[in-house]
Chain A
Amino acid sequence: MLAYILRRLWQMVPTLLGVMLLVFIVFNWVGGDPSYILAGKRLSPETLANIRTHLGLDKSMPEQFLLFVQQVLHFDFGPSWSTQQPVGGILAARVGPSLMLTGSLLVVELLTALPIAILVAYYRGKLVDRAVTIACTVAMSISSLVYIIVGQYVLAYKAGWFPVQGWDDDSILGAWLFYIPLPLLLGLAVSLAPSVRFYRSFVVEELNQDYVRTARAKGLSERVMLFKHVLRNALIPVVTAVTSSLPFLVLGSMLLERFFGIPGMGNELLLAVDKSDFPVIKAITITIAISTMVFNLLADVLYKWIDPRVELK
């Protein structure tokens, strides 16, 4: 097991190098010369030359790449171009709200989608199943934007049940109780249909297994069979799917954060893209890429741990 983990960690090195190369190519080659963005309106040859020296743009491409690798290894991406705050500090302040929103969303979604999926899978081919499947297809065909726009308008603006948008920086509990519920509800509305379809396929696969027939043959009640035998087996792929989706949680539900003014990573990323704040985008991309790799490894290890039949290669 240890050898496996070490080997996987070793394999991450070239991938990480590739991600750095990709980010470098996108921002230094495709993006062109950023000094014009920074110079703003006071454009003079001296300012431009100054900025170029400062950013290291006067060096050759390989040297610039080495500089970037150094930045990544020290996790120091320099100050943000728009606010001059250190990027590390900005990101540290943004992770919390994102995790609060998407973490609770994940829990609520699992608690609602899984029971529905089990129920639907149990009655597969019957009317309930077909109705839910059709409802899911229709629900998924509407853009997530529409759910958020209409939800915010109807539930917050018209009905006034929730605040339209905002965040409480001082009290975590206050923010969670007051500002999280509506984004959470709308996030659930967006993700419920795809999740139900996704989990349903796992449960259906388990229901076809021989042990289900055995469980029924020895006289177990349907409830015990479903929730003690099938659920535990169906949870295996669910756990790995959820684990490898965790890094995406860090990014948060970007759209929800933007609509509801939650100061999270996703909102920060959108602001950075709006303002061409390259250091922030680079830092977020590298951070998410590293955490994706780590969590993928974690998912595989977890998979082995909860299902001893799995062979790790």
Chain B
Amino acid sequence: MSANISMQQNSPAAAPPRSLWSLGWQRLKRDRVGYVSLWIVGVFALVAALVWTGLLAGNWNAEISEPNTSPLWVAHEKVAVTSGENELDGSTGPIIRLAAAEDPINQEMEAARKNAARYKTREIEKTDSLILGSDQRGRSVMQKVLQGTATSMLVGIFGALLSVLLGTLLGAFAGYFGRRTDDFLMWFYSVFTSVPDMLLLLAFAAVSGRGFTTLVLVLSFTSWTATFRLVRAEFMKQRSREYVQAADAIGASHLRRMFVHILPNISHLLLVQFSLLLVGLIKYEVILSFLGFGVGVKQVSWGSILGEVPNELLQGYWWQLLAVVLFMSTLVTAVSLLTDALRDALDPKVK
């Protein structure tokens, strides 16, 4: 790999030349917290991939249970079921209905009752024992949360990837070429940083419809600035180093010097930046979806589940909240700890 080659050129004396990445991997494996976090993030990524391909929780939208049943491991309180007839407290008299002749919609109702048999819906055996309970439509909270995990993670991953890509490209050009290019891109940067992220997100959300693609685009358009500043500073530092001059001497083009010679040397910073952004964007996605500017109405994400929570809490249904908090905080904590571990492991100054 090019990373290997350029690192070997940099460290002439080392007996078995090892790249920063393999060294970093060794250090990460020794860091217990970091290694466990890596596994947790890996499991989440696997779940997201399985859900994405439809192998897991593909059936999340089916109403497989009675509405609002509590989780399996909580003692069931039987919810009083109303029979459908008007039952008023203490009233025992017959319910007085309109006579057939007086009822303005009587004919339609008669027709509807006659046809009702033809449109019998297929009865599904409804369960009331789901591991995390069910929501108000009787969907499994477990499947819903898994689906939400996939949505939130994929928005985070794609958003962070695009954002790092955008920031790296612009930062590389600004830092490497300097002068006019730098002035122009710095102007671009200052424009985007003078509007707060959330404001910019909402402005974009106001004009573009909701949905997965828009969300990813909007999130990356507003979050590339930190990567830009980092990459720009690195390229300014690296562009006059000896190995870049050597590359120039053997006739490497500007683009080749930028992306084949310099970029591998800062790639570890980009990985850290990526995982920082991942956490940030997942949090933003949750807030945007909660406010109704996030994923589409047919998708579910942690944010849109949280949107149902305030009303459910009033009725005493707390299990959707618990499920989201459990999944989200596990992932966010794991990614944050992994970020710290990566930063330590990939620091080239530590041997």
Please state if A141 and B321 are interface contacts (CB–CB under 8 Å).
no
B313 and A153 contact, CB distance less than 8 A:
yes
Interface stretch of the complex, out of A88-96, A172-180, A215-223, A284-292? A284-292
> Which of A18, A137, A157, A273 interacts with B205 by CB under 8 Å?
A273
Q: Which residue of A lies closest to B289 (CB)?
A: A145
Of A19, A270, A276, which is within 8 A of B195 by CB?
Answer: A19
CB atoms of B287 and A18 under 8 A apart: no
Contact yes or no, B203 A285, CB < 8 A: yes
Tell me which residues across on chain B come within 8 A of A273, comparing CB atoms: 202-203, 205-206, 293
A143/B287 contact (C-beta < 8 A), A18-B190, A273-B293 known:
yes
Q: Are A15 and B194 in contact (CB under 8 A)?
A: yes
Which chain A residue shows the least CB distance to B291?
A270
Which stretch in A24-32, A45-53, A100-108, A114-122 binds the other chain? A24-32
Given contacts A141-B333, A143-B328, whether A276 and B291 have CB atoms under 8 Å apart is no
Within 8 A of B (CB), among A216-270: 247-248, 251, 254-255, 258, 269-270
Residues in B with CB closer than 8 Å to A19 are 191, 194-195
A7 to B321, CA, bound (A): 52
Question: A278 and B206 in contact (CB under 8 A), knowing A18-B191, A142-B325?
Answer: yes
CB contact under 8 A between A26 and B207, given known A137-B333, A144-B287, A273-B202: yes
**Shortest CB distance A114–B (Å):** 23
| Per-position binary interface string of chain B over residues 187-205, scored 1 when its CB falls under 8 Å from any chain A CB and 0 otherwise | 1101111111011101111
B207: which A residues are within 8 A, CB to CB?
Answer: 26-27, 30-32
Q: Does A5 contact B (CB under 8 A)?
A: no
Q: A15-B191, A255-B287, A270-B291 are in contact. Are A142 and B205 (CB under 8 A)?
A: no
Q: Residue-by-residue, is A127-147 near B (CB-CB < 8 Å gives 1, otherwise 0)? A: 000000000011011111110
A196 within 8 A of B: no
Q: Does B111 contact A (CB under 8 A)?
A: no
B291 contact set on A, CB distance < 8 A = 258, 270
Are A138 and B198 interface neighbours, CB within 8 A? no
Asked, given contacts A146-B321, A292-B194, whether A269 binds B199 with beta carbons under 8 Å apart, the answer is yes
* Chain B stretch 293-338: residues in CB contact (< 8 A) with chain A: 293, 302-303, 306, 309-310, 313-314, 321, 324-325, 328-330, 332-333, 336-337
Interface flag for B286 (CB, 8 Å): yes
Please give the distance in Å from A181's CB to the nearest CB on chain B.
Answer: 20
- Per-residue CB contact flags for chain A residues 141-162 toward chain B (1 = under 8 Å, else 0) read 1111110011011000100000
Q: Does A293 contact B (CB under 8 A)?
A: yes
Q: How far, in whole Å, are A285 and B195 apart by their CA atoms in the complex?
A: 7
Contacts of B287 in A (CB 8 A): 143-145, 255
Nearest CB of B to A151, in Å = 11
- Residues of chain A within 8 A of B337, CB atoms compared: 137
Rounded to whole angstroms, the CA-CA distance of A278 and B206 in the bound complex is 8
Residue A281, interface by CB 8 Å = yes
Answer yes or no: A72 CB below 8 A from chain B CBs.
no
Of A30, A145, A251, A254, which one neighbours B306 at CB under 8 angstroms? Answer: A145
A residues in contact with B195, CB < 8 Å:
19, 22, 285, 288-289, 292
A-to-B contact residues, CB < 8 Å: 14-15, 18-19, 21-23, 26-27, 30-32, 137-138, 140-146, 149-150, 152-153, 157, 247-248, 251, 254-255, 258, 269-270, 272-274, 276, 278, 281, 284-285, 288-289, 292-293, 296
